[in-house]
Structure 1
Amino acid sequence: MLRLLLISGLLIAFLAIVFALQNPSPITVNLLFWQFQGSLALVLLFTLALGVIAGILVCSPIVIKRNWKIASANKKIKEMKRALADQDEVMVKQEKRIKYLEENLQLENSTKNHEQTKLPE
């Protein structure tokens, strides 16, 4: 992905240089009280750069919000995994306790059965 971005960036830079070399005709740009004279290519490339900057500024809040949501979701996932691990630990302890109690109950029952068989009638 990074390689594709690098190649596309170099291609755009190459095309911009070719465009600038083929369009050297001077033009005048008027904006309110400001006046600028330069080549057609320079004005168009400057306008393109302003458009890219405006696009980045418009998209940045969306990207920041998305990244914040992702971080928040990852934090929740981590907390839930921790809670699940804690519950698993409790469950293992309870299973051990149940096994222990069942063994004691069986031992107690076998002891009672053994005593009942020994008692004369």
Structure 2
Amino acid sequence: MRISLILSLFMAVFALTNPDPVTIDFGFFETTGPTALVILVTFVLGIVVGVLFMLPGRIKQARRLARQARERESAAQDTGPTYTPPAPPLP
């Protein structure tokens, strides 16, 4: 909670102290916006790209863990007959 408040305060101060326009040119697309907005959009796009690159590994791991859980369940059910040692002779 405190970290969010501090980060929000930092972003507000940054946005107020950097109102200068920045031009972004991708060759076929050009836009102009405040420095803080450009940095915020870049940050959010970086998070989205990072999550998209991480997602296949997470899905693969979740499938592997689910398969292992199913195998453990089936192994627990398929224990078969157990060995019971013979009773010791009566005196």
* Counterpart mapping for 1:1-121 below 5 A: 8=3, 10=4, 11-84=6-79, 87=80, 90-91=81-82, 95=84
Identity of aligned residues (%): 27
The aligned amino acid for 1:24 is P
Alpha-carbon deviation of 1:23?
1.4
State the TM-score, normalizing by the size of structure 2. Answer: 0.78
Higher helix share: 1
Number of equivalent positions = 89
- Larger Rg belongs to: 1
State the TM-score, normalizing by the size of structure 1. Answer: 0.60
Q: Deviations over 1:19-59 (max 9, x none)?
A: 22221111111111211111011001111111111101100
Larger RCO (CA within 8 A; separation ≥ 6)? 2
The aligned amino acid for 1:72 is R
Could you tell me which runs of 5 or more consecutive residues in structure 1 were left unpaired when the two chains were aligned. 1-5, 100-121
Distance 1:56 1:23, change over 3 A: same
Could you tell me which runs of 5 or more consecutive residues in structure 2 were left unpaired when the two chains were aligned. none
Distance 1:68 1:18, change over 3 A: farther
Distance 1:32 1:64, change over 3 A: same
SS at match of 1:33: coil
Q: Deviations over 1:48-97 (max 9, x none)?
A: 1111111011000011101111111111111111112xx2xx33xx75xx
